[in-house]
């Protein structure tokens, strides 16, 4: 797979792989108690997550490997970083402070002043958790159907509504909320919200898996919003912010999310090989088939991330690789439970954890149904297949 990557990406991958070693004990503890991430903030993996997509001029000690300096603003390098950390533990990676999806939204939509304030805060000495508030209780992640309202109030606005299934919202200090200022797709805005603002409330939602993501529900009750908090309000036309920003952020982030699923899948297959090195016959064939599918999905994911870096965004192919990666993670954990024998999920706490974690990918950053619709549209238009 290395031959597909430029030298700087290979060096980054190897560096992150080293930082991801040993994350599984921390991941198991966070699975039992998601707030336990506070006890692991000294790890190099946390520093990597805090710096992802933060420009190097804001970071006191930017990541340098050999002749290269990294901020992971490249989609390919961001994807590689997340995949390797997820091989260590996906739940731990998602529990870390840092920009994650909110950083992609601010980078795509924010003006110079907004980006400066955001990056200064993320690069500060204290760890800052962020959230990306798009999904709503009655509408899911259908960005065009948002009901959260941004209403004029004097020289500013007030924000009312609810968000659900938002990672880290109950523990974050800052985040992006998508809302509706006017009817129609051009009436959607993205707003930077400080969670200390009166009227903002968030609480964790109990989950079976991926507990490190600390999935939360948000209530917005008359939250004061200044015009300066609306991303790109003074620099972008309504047709280039809001809904377009949500879609661009999701498309930019889906290869990264696919990398999370593929990192977990690779970890599961390696775990089976370590536990059952003498697998033969149909069992070996099953494992080899999954490895072939993983290699193919990773190749496609790297190609798509590289295309995004080159300015080519193909929604149908992005949707396809995200769907395939989520399906593969589920399939690998199901196969592992069978290949490791009866009772494996009871005897093997780590396998039990990743078995539960893998079910989250179907719903993260757009459900499988939404992704398959995008693939169908690509097939119908004749753009999906070369």
Tens digit of each residue's pLDDT (9 = 90 or more) over 40-93: 999 999 999 999 999 999 998 999 999 999 999 999 999 999 999 999 999 999
Tens digit of each residue's pLDDT (9 = 90 or more) over 205-243: 999 999 999 999 999 999 999 999 999 998 988 878 877
What was the pLDDT predicted at 381?
86
Residues in the chain where the model's pLDDT stays below 50:
none
Q: If DSSP codes are grouped into helix, strand and coil, which group holds residue 330? A: helix
Task: Check if the beta carbon of residue 189 is closer than 8 Å to that of residue 230.
Answer: yes
Sign of CA dihedral 78, 80, 84, 86: positive
Rg (CA), the chain: 20
Q: Can you tell me the distance from the alpha carbon of 194 to that of 159, in angstroms, rounded to the nearest whole number? A: 12
Integer CA distances (angstroms), 261 to 22, 29, 42, 59, 255, in order: 19, 20, 25, 29, 10
- 242-381: what fold? Butyryl-CoA Dehydrogenase, subunit A; domain 3 (1.20.140)
What was the pLDDT predicted at 386?
63
Task: Check if the beta carbon of residue 171 is closer than 8 Å to that of residue 165.
Answer: no
What is the four-CA torsion angle of 144, 145, 146, 149, rounded to 10 degrees? 100
Could you tell me what percentage of the chain is helix, strand and coil, using 3-state DSSP and rounding each to the nearest 5? 55, 15, 25
- Tokens encoding 9: 């990406």
What was the pLDDT predicted at 93?
96
Paired strand residues for 151: 158
Task: Check if the beta carbon of residue 287 is closer than 8 Å to that of residue 109.
Answer: no
Task: Check if the beta carbon of residue 332 is closer than 8 Å to that of residue 315.
Answer: no
Task: Check if the beta carbon of residue 177 is closer than 8 Å to that of residue 190.
Answer: yes
Q: Can you tell me the distance from the alpha carbon of 261 to that of 213, in angstroms, rounded to the nearest whole number? A: 14
130-239 to CATH, choices 3.30.420.40, 2.40.110.10, 1.10.760.10, 3.10.20.30: 2.40.110.10
Q: Which residue ranges does the chain devote to CATH 1.20.140.10?
A: 242-381
Q: Which residue ranges does the chain devote to CATH 2.40.110.10?
A: 130-239
Paired strand residues for 164: 217
Q: Can you tell me the distance from the alpha carbon of 211 to that of 215, in angstroms, rounded to the nearest whole number? A: 7
What was the pLDDT predicted at 145?
79
- Tokens encoding 335: 């196969």
What was the pLDDT predicted at 197?
97
Task: Check if the beta carbon of residue 356 is closer than 8 Å to that of residue 210.
Answer: yes
């Amino acid at each position: 797979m290395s031959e597909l990557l430029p030298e700087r990406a290979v060096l980054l991958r190897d560096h992150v792989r080293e930082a991801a070693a040993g994350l599984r004990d921390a991941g198991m503890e966070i699975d039992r108690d998601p707030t336990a991430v506070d006890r692991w903030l000294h790890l190099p993996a946390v520093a990597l997550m805090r710096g992802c997509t933060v420009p190097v001029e804001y970071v006191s000690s930017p990541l340098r490997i050999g002749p290269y300096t990294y901020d992971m603003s490249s989609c390919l390098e961001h994807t590689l970083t997340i995949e390797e950390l997820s091989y260590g533990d996906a739940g731990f990676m998602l529990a870390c402070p840092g920009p994650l999806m909110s950083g992609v939204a601010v980078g795509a939509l924010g003006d110079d002043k907004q980006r400066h304030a955001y990056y200064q805060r993320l690069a500060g000495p204290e760890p800052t958790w962020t959230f990306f508030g798009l999904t709503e209780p009655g509408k899911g992640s259908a960005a065009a159907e948002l009901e959260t309202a941004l209403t004029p109030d004097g020289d500013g606005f007030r924000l009312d509504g609810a968000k659900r299934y938002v990672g880290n919202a109950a523990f974050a200090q800052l985040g992006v909320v998508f809302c509706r200022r006017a009817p129609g797709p051009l009436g959607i805005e993205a707003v930077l919200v400080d969670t200390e603002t009166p009227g903002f409330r968030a609480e964790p939602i109990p989950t079976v898996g991926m507990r490190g993501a600390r999935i939360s529900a948000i209530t917005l009750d008359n939250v004061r919003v200044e015009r300066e908090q609306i991303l790109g309000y003074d620099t972008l036309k309504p047709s280039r912010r809001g809904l377009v920003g949500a879609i661009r952020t999701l498309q930019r982030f889906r290869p990264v999310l696919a990398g999370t699923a593929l990192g977990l899948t690779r970890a599961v297959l390696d775990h089976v090989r370590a536990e059952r090195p003498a697998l033969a016959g149909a069992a070996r064939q099953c494992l080899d088939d999954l490895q072939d599918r993983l290699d193919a999905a990773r190749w496609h994911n790297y190609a798509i991330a590289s295309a995004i870096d080159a300015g080519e965004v193909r929604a149908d192919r992005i949707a396809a690789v995200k769907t395939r990666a989520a399906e593969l993670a589920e399939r690998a954990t199901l196969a592992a439970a069978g290949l490791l024998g009866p009772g494996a999920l009871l005897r093997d706490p780590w396998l039990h954890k990743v078995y539960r974690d893998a079910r989250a990918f179907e719903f993260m950053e757009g459900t499988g149904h939404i992704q398959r619709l995008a693939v169908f549209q690509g097939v119908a238009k004749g753009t999906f297949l070369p």
